Amino acid sequence: MDLAKYRTLFLEEASEHLAEMSRALLVLEKDPASTESIDLVFRMAHSTKSMAASLGYEAISEIAHRLEDRMQVVRSAGRIEDAADLPLLFRGLEALERMVEVVRETGQPPPPDSELAQALGSTPGLKKKFLRHP
């Protein structure tokens, strides 16, 4: 596998995904039941997780996976029910943006953010069946 080529592809596509995720989260601030935005954040997190895992960027994959799991709960509920959820989702997004920048600047996998991963995975409504790392 041509790692450099795939790293470039990852940086392009992950950056687009995170920008879309950011726009969708801003919509959810105003309309916590926006189905389109909920689905979009879920899909972007899912896609970012798979791409990062393919390149061994475990820290990115972990945070993206936690976001995906959290959004799965939101999808099931049909809206963001907990007011504390949105700031946490934004924190997750910002962490992913920082991590992608580390890859862009160093070409290396970014370090993990265990504290945030734990916070993202600790919502009372987050059902264990959605978690890969309970």
Partner 1 sequence: MRGRVLVADDAAFMRQMIREILEAEGLEVVGEAVDGVEAIDQFSKLHPDLVTMDIVMPRRSGIDAVKGILELDPQARVVMCSALGQETLVMEALQAGARDFIVKPFKPDNVIATLTKVLEKES
The least CB distance from residue 95 to partner 1, in Å, is: 19
Instruction: Give 4 or 83: the residue with its C-beta nearer to partner 1.
Output: 4
Burial class, 38, CB count within 10 angstroms (exposed 0-12 / middle 13-18 / buried 19+): buried
Instruction: Give 13 or 81: the residue with its C-beta nearer to partner 1.
Output: 13
The least CB distance from residue 9 to partner 1, in Å, is: 5
Binding site for partner 1 (CB under 8 A): 1, 6, 9-10, 13, 39, 42-43, 46-47, 49-51, 53-54, 65, 68-69, 129-132
- For residue 127, is it left (φ>0), alpha (ψ between -120 and 50) or beta? beta
The least CB distance from residue 83 to partner 1, in Å, is: 27
The least CB distance from residue 132 to partner 1, in Å, is: 4
Residues 9, 98, 122, 71: is their CA dihedral positive or negative?
negative
Instruction: Give 52 or 95: the residue with its C-beta nearer to partner 1.
Output: 52
Instruction: Give 13 or 87: the residue with its C-beta nearer to partner 1.
Output: 13
Could you tell me the CA-to-CA distances from 55 to 19, 91, 105 in Å, in that order? 21, 23, 16
Nearest of 35, 92, 114, 78 to residue 100 by alpha carbon: 92
